[in-house]
Amino acid sequence: MPDFGHEPRHGGKIIAVAVNRELGDIPAVTAVDAARMLGVSSARVSQLLNAGLLDSWKDGTKRMMSKASIEARLADAPRVGRPKEAPVAV
């Protein structure tokens, strides 16, 4: 069994795992559908993509977003509007 030049630090074994997946195997939607699901504009989806807050890739000419990243965004969505100021202690 190859060890890839590494030794376990605290005992145990080194295990190599290979997975063959294709982008087509990942549940995904278009940017327009992502905007609809998130309740935001297409421009806001572009901002989220540029900020690295959604996973995406190009499929031909279409930009695809993983449903998992959209669901994660929905689960951890910030509240709408400006944050309220904390009361000042006197």
Global confidence as pTM? 0.62
**Residues 28-73: pLDDT tens digits?**
999 999 999 999 999 999 999 999 999 999 988 989 999 999 999 9
Q: Residues 44, 53: contact at Cβ < 8 Å?
A: no
Q: Which phi and psi (to 5°) does residue 72 adopt?
A: -65, -40
Among residues 37, 89, 40, which one has the least CA distance to residue 65? 37
Long-range contacts of 72-77 (CB under 8 A, 24+ apart): 73/38, 73/48, 74/37, 74/38, 77/38
C-alpha 30/C-alpha 44 separation (Å) is 14
Q: Where are the domains of the chain?
A: 23-74
Has domain 23-74 been given CATH number 1.10.3470? no
